[in-house]
Amino acid sequence: SDLETLYNAFGCTAFLKKTEVDLGKEVVVNCLQSLQLETFQKGEAICKFGEIGDKFYIIIKGAVSVHVPSKEIVRTPTARKGS
């Protein structure tokens, strides 16, 4: 289940361990239930530059890269005959 996946991913963090000791496992489970598990395919965009964000992402498995467009013009040298 999503809850089990989230608990396995975050249950070992110092924050949740302390929360569980201080406030009980029920509080940790309630916190995790408020999260929404999302999966993305390799190469799929999670969000695009300029979009207004309404959530944040925690990467459980895999990797992401961030691409920020630049206004700087990049000139590529032109190969010429004999050069």
pLDDT (tens digit per residue) in 3-48: 888 888 877 788 888 888 999 989 988 888 888 889 999 989 999 9
pLDDT reported for residue 73: 66
What pTM was estimated for this model as a whole?
0.58
> Cα–Cα distance between 33 and 31 in angstroms, integer?
5
CB 43 within 8 A of CB 65: no
Nearest to 2 by CA among 33, 24, 42: 33
CB 30 within 8 A of CB 6: no
